[in-house]
Structure 1
C-alpha cells in the first residue's frame, strides 16, 4: 500500500478531537444579528438519504435496527429521510439562507464496528454557493470517537432557478450533493471527498405575509411574590393543527439546552391544544391559534430530578414549546419573570462592566497525521483526501496569511524512489462561519498541481488576503499520485509538510 504522512510545523498540530471541538464552537450559522432584509423561517422540511448504496450496505448488517430515526425525522417509502424545519433566516434580496432542520438518523452496524448518528441538517447559502451541514457522531472501536457540530458534509449545486421562490416559500428540488473533505473525515473515510451523494430537496416558508408568529404576553412579569403567585398567560399566532394537532406545553422554569426534551427541570406545565377540556393541567387553544391560561408558580421549588431551583438566583421564564417532544421550534417562546427579593435593601443594583480584548494567535491544526493511498500499478494514479487543515487567525489585524505544502520524495524500504513532484493535489478552501458575525473573511484555494508538476516544490494549499483573513478556515485537497513506469514495486512513504505564515 502507498502511504504518505502529513504534519504541521511550529507545533501547530492537534489530534482530531481538538479540531472537532473547535468546529463545534465555530461553525454556528445565523447566530449574529439579523439584517433588515432577513426574514425568519417559520416552517418547511428537508429530504435527503445521504447515499443509497450506504443505506443498502447498512441494512445488510446486524444493527438493531440497522437504520433508525428520532427527534422528529421520518423515513420515506424510498428509504430517504425527511427532517422538519426548526427555523433559521432567509434574505430574499441576496439569497443568503440559513435554514435549520431537526431530527436524527442512526446507522448501526456492530459487526463492522461502527454507529453513525447524523442530526440537525442545515442548508447554508451565501454568495451563490450552497452547503449542507449537520451534526455527526461516530462511535467505532477502530479509532477515537468523532463528534462534530454543523460539519460541512456536502456542497450543493444551486443554479438555473433552483431553488425557486413562490411568494413566501422557497423550494430546492433534487440539488446535486458532493461529499466534502470534512464530510469524508466525519464519516471515517467510508467515501472520499468528491463522492456523489443522494440529491437534497428542501422547502421553507418565511414569516413575512404568512401566519402570525407565535407570541406570548404574561401578567404580571415583575415584582412577583416569591412565596407564590398565579400568572395569566395569553398566546397568539400559534398553529393549532401543527404536529397533528398535538398542541403546545406552557411551562415555567429556567431555560436549558434542548428544553423540549428536559421538562423535568420545570416547575409546572399545562398542555394546551384545540381539543382539550380545561382542567388544572390542560387548556384549550382557539381555532385562530390563541389561548388564555393560568399557571401557579413560586420562586423556589424542587424539580423532578431532586434539585432545588431558585428563580431569584437564576433567570426563569414562561416557556412555550411544541408538545410531545416535537422537533418543531416555531412554537417556542421565552418570557422572563422576576420576583421581589426578600431581606430588604432595595430591588435594584448596578455593576460596571469592563474587559480587555487581547490579540489571539495565528494557528494551524490538522484532522489527522496520516493519509493512506490505495495500491496501484505503474502508470496508474492513486487518489485520497488530505486530512483537513484548520487555520484560525485570531490576531485581529487582518494582515493575511498563506498555507503552503511541500512533500519529500516517496521512498520504499527496498530503495525505490518516486520524486515528490509525482504527487499532485486539487485544493479546496471554505470559511467557517463567525458565530458573532463580526468579520467578513475570505479564503482562496491554491492552484491545481498535476502529477509530474506537483508538490516536490512548495505550493499554496490556501491563502487569505489582507483585510479578509480574520476568522477560522478549513483547507483540504484531493491528493493524486501518478506512479511512473520506472518505479520499483514496494511500500512507499513520504512526509508532506504544511507551513502557515
Structure 2
C-alpha cells in the first residue's frame, strides 16, 4: 500500500518642517539637457565621502552599505554606476550623463536609512554639478524623497573632462556639497563640505545608440479600441542573466518599472528556450526577436487604476526577465493612438476589484495503490494516485512537490529497501477557464529501482515567476523485487510534501 499525507544618529538635525521645505526646493527644474549624441557605454566612480563610509561600516546595518540596480561596490569602498542614458555635445562640451544604480546606507541603531541613486553629471560651460535621487527613511521624523537634487558642484578644468573621438573621460574631479545636498542629507554635512573626488567616462558610439533596439508596427495612429502590434527587436543578449531572457510589455513608464509590472497592460516573456505561445516567444541566438502584443488605449491595471494611453504616453517596454537588476536590456518605444472624435454618447465607468490571494494546497485522488503481484527478481508497475497542486497565492513565488517512501515490510518479517521503488514522473498545467496566463510545471527526474525513493525526490516543480495556477502531477511506479525477498504481502508509506 502506498499512502500520501499531505543609539541614535547624533549629527542629524531632526526638523520635519525643514526637511519638507528642502524637498520642495530640490525638485525644481535643473539645467537644460545638452543637445548632441546619445551616450552608449561608460561608468561613474564616486565614494560620496570616505569618513561617512567608515562611520556607516562601524554600525549595525545588515549590511551597512549595499549596492543594487547595476551599481557595485569597489575594493576601496567607492561605488561604480553604469551609464543608462544622456547626451554629449562635442561642439560645446555640454554633458548630461545619466548613470544608473542605487547605494543604500543603513544604520538601524541610529534610526535611519539613506539611499542615493541615479547620479547625473551635468556640465554647461564652466559650470558642472552632480545630481541624484536621495531618499531618507527614519523613525524620528517624516521621510524625505527628492529626485535629481543638485547635491554637489564639480570642479572642471581645461582638459578634464577630456575627449578622444566619441569617448569622454574625467578623472578625480573635486566635489563640494551644495545647500541642496546638505538639506537632502538632513544637515549631516554642511554646504561647502569637501566630498570624495569623482571620475566618469562615457562613449557616444559615433552618435548612434548602442545595444538593444526595438521597432513597433504600427507605432502611431493605433485604434484606441484595440489592435495587435508587431514588435521587432535586435541587439539583445540571449545569454544575459543566466539566459533568463527579457519581458516585452506595454504601458506607461514608471520608476523601477522592472518591479512595478502591475501598471502594465500586457507582457510577453521572450527567451532563447521558449516555444511561441500567447504568452511567450523566442529570442534568437543573434539577439533578435519578432512578436505581437494585443493592446488598447484604455485599460485597468492590476492595481485597480485606469490607464488612458491617449492622455499619458505609453510605450512598448523591454527589460531583463525574472526581476534582474540588469538595466542593459531596457528600451522604451512610444506608441500613440488616434483620439475618438468629439461628440457621441460614450461614457466610461471604472471597475475596481481586489484580489486577496489564496493558499498553496495539495490534493490526492486516492490513499492506496495496489501494485500487481510479481515474482522475485522482477519489476512490478503501477500508477501513483494523481496529485493536484493549486497555487492560488497570487505571488508566483514558486513551489516544489517531493516524495519519499519508507522500507517495504511484510507480516512474515520480509523487507524490501525503499530505494527499490522508482518512478517516472509526469506533470500538466490545469485548464483555467478565465483566460489567465498559464503557469509552468516541470516533472521531476526519473528514478530507477535500486536508486529510487529512499531519499526525497521531486515529483514536480514550478519556478518563481510562473507558479500561479492549478497543476496535476503523477508518476509510473516501478518496484523492483530482489531475488532474496521473502514471499508475502508488503506495505510501505509514500509521503508527498508540498513546499
Scaled by the length of structure 1, the TM-score of the pair is: 0.57
Match of 1:161 in 2: 159
Is 1:26 equivalent to 2:29 in the alignment? Answer: yes
Contact 1:238–1:331 at 8 Å: present in 2 too? no
Deviation at 1:159, TM superposition (A): 2.4
Match of 2:332 in 1: 333
Deviation at 1:345, TM superposition (A): 5.4
Q: Deviations over 1:104-154 (max 9, x none)?
A: 111111222322221111111111332222122233455654433222222
Which secondary structure does the structure 2 equivalent of 1:17 belong to?
A: helix
Q: Deviations over 1:205-247 (max 9, x none)?
A: 2143553772412247535383x54322123455667777655
Moved more, 149-158 or 261-270: 149-158
Match of 1:224 in 2: 223
CA distance change for structure 1 residues 55 and 241 in 2, over 3 Å: closer, same or farther? same
For 2:317 and 2:61, the matched residues in 1 are separated by: 38
For 1:237 and 1:150, the matched residues in 2 are separated by: 30
Match of 1:271 in 2: 269
Match of 2:136 in 1: 138
For 1:100 and 1:212, the matched residues in 2 are separated by: 16
Alignment of 1:80-229 (within 5 A): 80-140=78-138, 145-210=143-208, 211=210, 214-219=213-218, 221-222=220-221, 224=223, 226=225, 229=227
Contact 2:134–2:147 at 8 Å: present in 1 too? yes
Deviation at 1:196, TM superposition (A): 2.8
Q: Say how many residue pairs are matched.
A: 328
Q: Deviations over 1:381-434 (max 9, x none)?
A: xxxxxxxxxxxxxxxxxxxxxxxxxxxxxxxxxxxxxxxxxxxxxxxxxxxxxx
User: Whose RCO is larger (CA < 8 A, sep 6+)?
Assistant: 1
Contact 1:272–1:283 at 8 Å: present in 2 too? yes
Match of 1:60 in 2: 58
For 1:288 and 1:102, the matched residues in 2 are separated by: 26
Alignment of 1:78-477 (within 5 A): 78-140=76-138, 145-210=143-208, 211=210, 214-219=213-218, 221-222=220-221, 224=223, 226=225, 229-236=227-234, 247-273=245-271, 276-286=274-284, 289-298=287-296, 301-309=299-307, 316-323=314-321, 324=323, 326=325, 328=327, 331-338=330-337
Deviation at 1:77, TM superposition (A): 2.3
Deviation at 1:339, TM superposition (A): 6.5
Contact 1:97–1:124 at 8 Å: present in 2 too? yes
Contact 1:174–1:199 at 8 Å: present in 2 too? yes
For 2:184 and 2:309, the matched residues in 1 are separated by: 41
Contact 1:102–1:327 at 8 Å: present in 2 too? no
Contact 2:44–2:201 at 8 Å: present in 1 too? yes
Task: Give the unaligned 5+ runs of structure 1.
Answer: 1-13, 348-501
Mark the structure with the bigger radius of gyration: 2
Which secondary structure does the structure 1 equivalent of 2:172 belong to?
A: strand
Deviation at 1:282, TM superposition (A): 3.1
For 2:158 and 2:148, the matched residues in 1 are separated by: 27
Contact 2:251–2:316 at 8 Å: present in 1 too? yes
Match of 1:412 in 2: none
Contact 1:44–1:84 at 8 Å: present in 2 too? yes
CA RMSD of aligned residues (A): 3.5
Task: Give the unaligned 5+ runs of structure 2.
Answer: 1-16, 347-499
